[in-house]
Chains A and B, each alone.
Chain A
């Protein structure tokens, strides 16, 4: 077991830890957990397998929690005070991506919000937040909730994600009807005789599902799914390269308290009603950035050569003037070349703009490109 080098606190393990070790995973510390970074297949093949077939990810380190209130409107308005998405108009069974915001409009965390299907869930919202932020998120949310709405941290369920074009074919064999779900929707179901919650969503750019399973049953669900010939277990290494190619933000890297959702080009996640009405933290800044454009923007970056440009790499304009920094960068196995995202001054953010990346002291040519690098294949 590894431990935090500063405090000596042992890392936590998910309920799938023994499965990972038995599969020959290389386990590394991540966000306070011992997590599989790769399996014997290796990061490259795991990435390509997920794009071609289906990958199963243990994402139990993420924070699953619930808001409970007397009715949907009360709970939705309580959450809307913390984030800029339209939660009030979420239909039962609908899911939305949003960001918890600080008072200055900086991003405290990004998260998924699901309104459970069925009348029995009325007044309840399911939230999934990032592993590294969850303890602070819970404190923040609990402190801001009005009387009558309560936060329940879910310690009883584990989270797994089945991602890739063959995910639907593999999962419908165990949960008939999942093929009829649309992207960003959720429902309860029975998997291997046990109640689970399924959403059609993920973090790879591929079609797929995220499944909340009671801790006692998650190992058998994992075994059942990985026994399918199209399914391989996939580690955090490939999870990162898959989401980078898909142009998806990683909290603490591409977004943090210093970035606003508009700078991060997440305005698609702020529905019109909220733009008009405001009433979320940082609304004045975000409204102004929507109207006038932010001073810097997140962009896709394609290095011209083979050398990856990593997080922290300085971005310069064609004349050598510093204009920004790379926030995620590496090798994209499906692109078969280096890919990156970063922030540049808005004047330099146009698609096709030639830029330079300073890699090991040398300026390397690159271009501002559209995101994602690999097309999203969501089933809408």
Chain B
């Protein structure tokens, strides 16, 4: 079974082998409102955990998306460039943002599981 983790910055991480798929949570897109622009990182970019590497923008504001884990970007969801609203429709499914080949898998341990994330959202 794939490992699913969540960050305090409201990103989700789904790990399959040594590749992590990353997006923003349903809660995050609700807070942001209608998204009108998404910028994903270039394939091949090496990112460190907590580094800003994607941008999601609503009508009113731009928000950074941080890499919850370190590694190299191996794939980005270019479909979001022409259809940013997909993040509002399916944030934790089709609207994944990018995939990272993990360089420090132990970083996953610092992230929350679903129950802990739900509690974090509910109680801060």
Number of interface residues of B (CB under 8 A): 13
B117 at the interface (CB under 8 A from A): no
Q: Are A331 and B36 in contact (CB under 8 A)?
A: yes
**Cα–Cα distance between A241 and B39 once the two chains are bound (Å):** 21
| Interface residues of chain A: helix, strand, loop or mixed (majority) | mixed
**Cα–Cα distance between A306 and B78 once the two chains are bound (Å):** 13
Taken residue by residue from 167 to 187, chain A's Cβ proximity to chain B (1 for < 8 Å, 0 otherwise) reads as: 000000000000000000000
**Cα–Cα distance between A38 and B32 once the two chains are bound (Å):** 11
Q: Are B81 and A38 in contact (CB under 8 A)?
A: no
Inside 8 A of B59's CB, which chain A residues have their CB?
A: 43-44, 47, 237-238, 240-241, 330-331, 333
Tell me how many residue pairs across A and B have CB atoms closer than 8 Å. 44
Taken residue by residue from 34 to 49, chain A's Cβ proximity to chain B (1 for < 8 Å, 0 otherwise) reads as: 0001100011110100
What are 18 residue pairs bridging A and B, where the CB atoms are less than 8 Å apart in the complex?
A: A38-B33, A42-B33, A43-B33, A43-B59, A43-B60, A44-B34, A237-B33, A237-B59, A306-B37, A306-B81, A307-B39, A308-B37, A308-B57, A308-B62, A310-B62, A330-B60, A331-B37, A333-B36
Taken residue by residue from 80 to 101, chain B's Cβ proximity to chain A (1 for < 8 Å, 0 otherwise) reads as: 0100000000000000000000
B residues within 8 Å of A by Cβ? 33-34, 36-37, 39, 55, 57-62, 81
Residue of B36, B55, B58, B81 touching A360 (CB-CB under 8 A): B55
Inside 8 A of A47's CB, which chain B residues have their CB?
A: 59
Q: Are A43 and B58 in contact (CB under 8 A)?
A: yes
**Cα–Cα distance between A42 and B35 once the two chains are bound (Å):** 10
Inside 8 A of A237's CB, which chain B residues have their CB?
A: 33, 59-60
